[in-house]
Amino acid sequence: MRAITAFLARNKGFFTFMLCMIVFRSAVADWNVVPTGSMQPTIRIGDRIFVDKAAYDVRLPFTHVSLLHLADPQRGDIVVLDSAAAHERLVKRVIGLPGDQVAMRDNRLYINGQRAEYTDTTETGIHDDQLGAARYVIENYGAMRHRVRLSLDRPSPARSFGPIKVPEAQYLMLGDNRDNSEDSRYLGFFPRREIIGRTRYVAVSLDPENHYLPRAHRFGAPLDSAH
């Protein structure tokens, strides 16, 4: 017992630092590995995204309990959430806000009766034989502007839905890879309390198709750089 006490006393600075880091990652900021392509082309498989956990709430560390409400998610935000419906952590884009009427017709969004605008874009550097050929477009609605991936080989059966009204304190979210994303079309609306943070930047990126070598050009890259 004395040996354990002495060991803790000698290393109290290290343990204090580790505790502070754990609390910081739980309540302030963290990074998440992205293992799937549901947000391509915005977020690529192998990206480690920076998550601002204080973007919307100050939470009690290690819980979802909000101590201070700071803001609410806005349309177009890329958020990280602990989804009870999916039984896992998800990264999706906020499309429908509480009270919105949202519909989709052949992968074209209509929000509150207004159709989003779509323009073609040339996307390079993304090759995924499993997903097949795709068309990339810029989706533009109000202040929301980002790229989406539309499959040419394997269209989703959920390319059309609605119109549906988003309930209070809930959000409709979609993946940017519209034909290969498990999102609100399959899981329903996501409650506000499940949203744990917002991401706007890639922290680091490793290429799983090239021996996990770094993609240096993506280090610190901003998301939503539509072109």
Catalytic (active site) residue 165: no
Residue 4 lies in a domain: no
Residue 17 has a pLDDT of 39
Residue 5 lies in a domain: no
Residue 8 has a pLDDT of 45
Quick one: which of 1, 55, 4, 2 has its CA closest to 30? 55
Residue 35, phi-psi category: left (phi > 0), alpha (psi -120 to 50), beta (remainder): alpha
Joined together, the tokens standing for residue 69 give 């409400």
- Mean pLDDT, the chain, whole residue set: 85
Residue 55 lies in a domain: yes
Residue 17 lies in a domain: no
Residue 193 lies in a domain: yes
Domain span at residue 140? 29-218
CATH code of residue 149 = 2.10.109.10
H or E segment at 139? strand 134-141
Question: Under a CB-based contact definition with an 8 Å cutoff, are residues 116 and 140 in contact?
Answer: yes
Task: Give CA–CA dist 122/131, Å, rounded.
Answer: 18
**128 Cβ neighbours under 8 A, 6+ residues apart:** 37, 40
Quick one: which of 79, 72, 70 has its CA closest to 52? 79
How many separate domains does the chain show? 1
Residue 12 lies in a domain: no
Residue 226 lies in a domain: no
Active-site choice (92, 151, 181, 205)? 92
pTM of this structure: 0.86
Catalytic (active site) residue 92: yes
- Count of alpha carbons within 13 Å of 29, Cβ hemisphere only? 8
Residue 6 lies in a domain: no
Question: Any bridge partners for residue 144, and if so which?
Answer: 141
Local confidence band at 153 (pLDDT 50, 70, 90 cut-offs): confident
- Write the CA distances from 117 to 12, 39, 142, 183, integer angstroms: 58, 19, 9, 21
> Does the pLDDT of residue 12 top 90, yes or no?
no
What's the whole-number mean pLDDT along residues 142-169? Answer: 92
> Does the pLDDT of residue 15 top 90, yes or no?
no
pLDDT digits (tens, 9 = 90+) for 60-84: 887 788 889 999 999 999 999 999 9
Question: How many other CB atoms sit within 10 Å of the CB of residue 154?
Answer: 12
What's the whole-number mean pLDDT along residues 148-164? Answer: 89
Q: 């979609």: which residue's tokens?
A: 174
Q: 């991936």: which residue's tokens?
A: 149
Joined together, the tokens standing for residue 102 give 């949202």
Q: Which of 20-34, 186-200, 202-216 shows the lowest per-residue confidence on average (mean pLDDT)?
A: 20-34
